[in-house]
Structure 1
Amino acid sequence: MPANSTPHGEFTLPLALRLGNVDISNRRMKLLEAVHTTGSISGAAKTIGMTYKAAWDAIDVINNLGAEPVVVTQHGGAGGGGALLTPYGAGLIDSFSKLTALQNQLMALFAAHDIDLIHDLRSILMKTSARNTFSGTVKSLTKGAVNSEVVLTIQGEDTLTAIITNTSAENMNLAVGSAAFALIKSSFVIVSQAPVTTSARNQLCGTVERITDGAVNAEIVIKLAGGNLVTAMITEGSTKELGLAVGDKACALIKASHIIVGVDH
């Protein structure tokens, strides 16, 4: 790498603690470290920028998954009650810290490689049952009383609007500019011949790339101008009514509540 070049970022791995069949994210491990430091759930939540409720929810999940309790708490008091790690919990934090240090040393060895290519490779290798998976960047994040509206910019400058709970947004540490992906089941995609007035927040238009007929349902793949492919599963009856053929213009309509948002960390 030339001396005056600017690195795209630093290499990391999504190191996580697995309890049972569930991974405990780095953010939740940071919460446990903060509990140890502050001695309270409320103090730990403030330290890592998590709401008090989200912190409690996370602690409950961790305690339910562990072979034994990780955190013991006492409700009440001006500060929301005390909390401390059990010996088992302290051991988990110590092991996680040592592994994190080793991971950072290992990733430093690959600093000369292109991190953008590594990120793309991880996205490609991601496995999911949803037919539609889009990698993007958070364009805007609007928080409401209960839910948050997340707008993602995907390949080709198309955008997807999703509605998720505030707790989910906080747990994923979503922010404008952060990387995220959207998952959409093909059965949640409505197909129209042209742009229409609809309550669906997302209307992605392009050209029919492929139609696969089945006994009951048909799979329609729409290619967007930016290169993304949107797959819809509709009935054969609907397919005949639309009268679509490969090369025709078509739009994919998707409700914001039907989009699952995820992050790779």
Structure 2
Amino acid sequence: MAETTGEAHGAVDAAHGDGGGLVFHPMDQFIVEPLFGDGAVNMLTVTNVTLWMAIAVLCIMALMVLGTSGRGIVPGRVQSVAELAYGFVYKMVEDVSGKDGVKYFPYIMTLFMFIVFSNFLGLIPMAFTTTSHFAVTVVLALAVFIGVTALGFVKHGVKFLELFWVTSAPLALRPVLAVIELISYFVRPVSHSIRLAGNLMAGHAVIKVFAGFAALAAVSPISILAITAMYGLEVLVAFIQAYVFTILTCVYLKDALHPHH
């Protein structure tokens, strides 16, 4: 089968096969590649993933450190965005986790900013969406899971296990509910990570498929409209998924601080 590389968004390989159909490769955009050389990728290899993660960190520093260095009484646009993000996450932590959860605000703020910047940077043409990789989102989710679990045992000891014992249920049902609660607790990092990576991966893949069809003159106008609509939706998803990941972190933190049903 002969293959030709499509140019729309860099992206989709389209070729006429023996059956005359189009073959797309929308998942090629998620391939991890080394920045230097053609060797195998390992833990110490500098890749496109590490590059865009570093860019996300630099952007956060530019916004939160350089953007607020002036500390003007009348804030400029950059300082206003930084203050808005700070207030948004602070109120989320306070409302969901309570006053005693505010001491963990710096970590949650860092988590939110990293995810939201990674999501939005991934929308730049030819960029790499680091949060579309399970290797990234699983680490973030496990850090939250292990952190809140350790915090629960440190603060409450064995009483933290009361989180799984539903005292409001009839006594006969409590052991069954305890098993269900225990399973759902250990599923948290799985759903936490898959939700973020899956939504971003799916949206970017759909855009690349529409970009491939844009090469066909007959459907090109429809494809361009679809790409525009999907891109607008992905902008919304980029923020919503960062918000969902962060608010779930606050919920898990609340369970660690207040494990009673």
Query: What TM-score does the superposition give when structure 1 sets the normalisation length?
Result: 0.23
- More strand, by proportion: 1
Higher RCO (Cα < 8 Å, 6 or more apart): 2
- More helix, by proportion: 2
Query: What TM-score does the superposition give when structure 2 sets the normalisation length?
Result: 0.23
